[in-house]
Amino acid sequence: MRQQRGSVIIIVLWTTILLTILVTVMAGKVQLSARTAFHNREAATDLARIGSAMNRAEMELILETMQRPIDYIPETDEDGNFREPRNRFNGQPLDLQYPAGEDMVVRIYDHAGKINLNNMRGGEMRLLIEKRLGPDADRQQVDDLVTAWGDWTDLNDQPGINNGAEKDYYASLDTPYAPRNNSELDSVEELRLIRGFDELFKDVNLDAAFTVYGNTQTVNLNLATREAMQLLPGLNDELIEEIIAYRERKDFRNKPDVGSILPVENFVELSPWIGSNTSSYYSVFVYPKAQQKDAGQEQDDPVTQAYMQVMEIRGFRERARVYQVDPYGRLPDTAPAQPEE
């Protein structure tokens, strides 16, 4: 009898333990399902808000192609000069005419503020390479990179005489592919496929610095990203911050305005690269506003990735033409100007 009672007690204990484990596992699954449902609902809500904000950003760009209303009062700078409304499409957070909501951030980048890769000549690419490598750049390395660029963008499969890189070179790689052999690239990321360029631009946000849309070959400093200016001849970090600080207060109306804040030798280097052009191509970033720890202090935006579309605005009679969609687009540097005292 004692042995039977002991066996019964052991069976009861094991049964209790198994039931406890089973209940715990089921409770965990229920909790996980509840969390999953909650996060799915949050994601769906955020996606709807982002889509709505993107539509309002598109409307903002379409309205820019229309005539101003009669009662429109233009913004003026500290000297009383009118400011160009299109220059607000330089990545600053925007207050839209059809608001996207206080908890949403909309940033629009005109591609006239980026360096256009299409139809870029070898001499221009050489200057960018030399700026990127610095004053102590190896001459042979520069020549090899320029030759590789020329072979990628020319119309034939004949390698350049100075260590060229054409079809045979790319076919010999572990993952072979063919060179573009055209002066117009399909995307800025294509740069990384050219021999030596992946290493050259390994830590550069290419989408922020370059564009392949439109046909303008100059950069508008009112719209320029930090990443683009860091590659332009004649500019260093200190001068870039001076440029951003200047355009926060007033517009660059012409090249003499630029020359007024740059040393002469820097301005001479930079001058061929800059213009006052705008484009019809835009990168639009939309994302929920991040919660700041110290609400009373102005802080840099901590968001580095956001939903992004590249779109072309052709006029107010038609919707934008969308060329690229990236749910995790990498934002250009959004920090405000930090000029030295």
Which residues, 6+ apart, have CB-to-CB distance to 299 below 8 Å? 292, 293
At 3 the pLDDT is 56
Compute the residue count for the chain: 341
Q: In a 10 Å sphere around its CB, with 0-12 CB exposed, 13-18 middle and 19+ buried, how is residue 312 labelled?
A: middle
Are the C-beta atoms of 103 and 289 separated by less than 8 Å? Answer: yes
Are the C-beta atoms of 192 and 199 separated by less than 8 Å? Answer: no
Q: Provide the residue-wise pLDDT of the chain in tens; the chain has 341 residues.
A: 555 565 667 777 777 777 777 777 777 666 666 566 544 555 567 788 999 999 999 999 999 999 888 888 888 988 899 999 999 999 999 999 999 888 999 999 999 999 999 989 999 999 999 999 998 989 999 999 999 999 999 999 888 877 889 999 999 999 999 999 999 999 999 999 999 999 999 999 999 999 999 988 899 999 999 999 999 999 999 999 999 999 999 999 999 999 999 999 999 999 999 999 999 999 999 999 986 555 555 568 899 999 999 999 999 999 999 999 999 999 999 999 987 76
Within 10 angstroms of residue 254's Cβ, the number of other Cβ atoms is 9
Distance CA 281, CA 207 (A): 13
At 72 the pLDDT is 84
Residue 298 corresponds to which amino acid? E
At 294 the pLDDT is 57
At 35 the pLDDT is 64
Are the C-beta atoms of 138 and 232 separated by less than 8 Å? Answer: no
Strand 90-93: give its sheet, edge to edge. Answer: 90-93, 104-110, 281-288, 305-312, 321-330
At 36 the pLDDT is 60
Are the C-beta atoms of 322 and 311 separated by less than 8 Å? Answer: yes
Q: Is 194 left (phi over 0), alpha (psi -120 to 50) or beta?
A: beta
User: Model confidence over 84-132: pLDDT tens digits?
Assistant: 999 999 999 999 999 988 899 999 999 999 999 998 999 999 999 999 9
Distance CA 300, CA 323 (A): 30
Residue found by looking up tokens 């989408």 in the block: 207
The pTM of this model reads 0.85
Rounded to 5 degrees, φ, ψ at 267 are: -65, -40
Rounded to 5 degrees, φ, ψ at 62 are: -65, -45
User: Model confidence over 328-339: pLDDT tens digits?
Assistant: 999 999 999 987
